[in-house]
Amino acid sequence: MMTTSMQDVAKRTLGLIDLTNLNDDCTPADIETLVSRSQNEHGHVAAICIYSRFIKQAAELLKDSPVRIATVVNFPGGGEDTAPVLEETRQAVADGADEIDLVMPYRAFAEGRHDVAAEQIRAVRAAIPAPAQLKVILETGELKDARLIHLASEIAIAEGADFIKTSTGKVAENATLKSAEIMLNVLRETAKENHRQIGFKPAGGIRTVEDAREYLALADELMGQNWVSAATFRFGASGLLDAVLAGIEGRTEESKETY
């Protein structure tokens, strides 16, 4: 049995999950399953995160639901050619996406060509009409250097990101508490000058309620006890929901991260 405090963490986590299926072999049947799992007797996740080819299907299935639809663009490679990314973004929004998770050109950024990343983020931001939101994926495990992660966070925010996100979940190192601390500190440092609410999304490798507890504790410490909500904090995960439901119900279960 999990302790009451861990049950509380599980309850808190449920509504912060972007329930994800970015498997290469994802099918329409898998999307039906994902949507069916997005709401349960304990509540609902914040969003589902899926490939753009499934947006219309998901939008139909979720038309009476509070669950939002997120999709990924320039994924997972973070290429430098912005034109197809803009086309993909506009189509995704037209099809019903509420949130666009953009992989910034992180290789170019790591090479020192920061303008390439800034210009792409700015262009994609301009292609997303309100109230749709932009999350910018920094791919922190590939940037590696704390100074680069800090600067990438600042640039993403300056160019219009609604969320800054750690990872695609497709590289060797994804979300870490170290990268989370850097990114949250940037949010804290820039809060007064932003004049708008900007969120944080750790993604990839977050599998257990204990994992979630550590990230939530960090956010509470750096941003304040009342900062975390679905509007400011998301977990990008495919298998965390299993562990969260087990935690709420007082069961012990390992989740399976599949992307």
Delimit the domains of the chain by residue range: 4-248
Mean pLDDT of 29-57: 98
Predicted local confidence at residue 252, as pLDDT = 73
CB 235 within 8 A of CB 216: no
Is the pLDDT assigned to residue 256 strictly greater than 80? no
Give me the torsion for CA of 256, 216, 170, 130, rounded to 10°.
120
Convert 159-183 into a string of H (helix), E (strand) and C (coil): CCCCEEECCCCCCCCCCCHHHHHHH
pLDDT digits 0-9 by tens, 47-81: 999 999 999 999 999 999 999 999 999 999 999 99
Is the pLDDT assigned to residue 254 strictly greater than 70? no
Q: How confident is the model at residue 194 (pLDDT cuts 50, 70, 90)?
A: confident
Predicted local confidence at residue 4, as pLDDT = 52
Please list the active-site residues. 101, 165, 201
Predicted local confidence at residue 228, as pLDDT = 98
Q: How far is CA 200 from the centre of its chain?
A: 8
Beta carbons within 8 Å of 250's beta carbon, 6+ residues apart:
1, 2, 7
CB 179 within 8 A of CB 150: no
Is the pLDDT assigned to residue 255 strictly greater than 60? no
Predicted local confidence at residue 195, as pLDDT = 85
pLDDT over 90, % of the chain: 93
Pairing of strands 39-40, 43-44: antiparallel
pLDDT digits 0-9 by tens, 177-190: 999 999 999 999 99
Average pLDDT value over all residues in the chain? 95
Q: In the β-sheet with 17-21, what is the strand arrangement from edge to edge?
A: 199-201, 163-165, 133-137, 99-103, 68-73, 47-50, 17-21, 235-237
CATH class belonging to 4-248:
alpha beta
Which range (31-40, 170-179, 185-194, 201-210) has the least confidence?
Answer: 185-194
The H or E element spanning position 68 is: strand 68-73
d(CA 22, CA 26): 7
d(CA 205, CA 74): 21
pLDDT over 70, % of the chain: 96
Predicted local confidence at residue 79, as pLDDT = 98
Is the pLDDT assigned to residue 2 strictly greater than 70? no
Neighbours of 28 (CB within 10 A): 11
Helices 209-223 and 240-248 sit at what angle, rounded to 10 degrees?
90
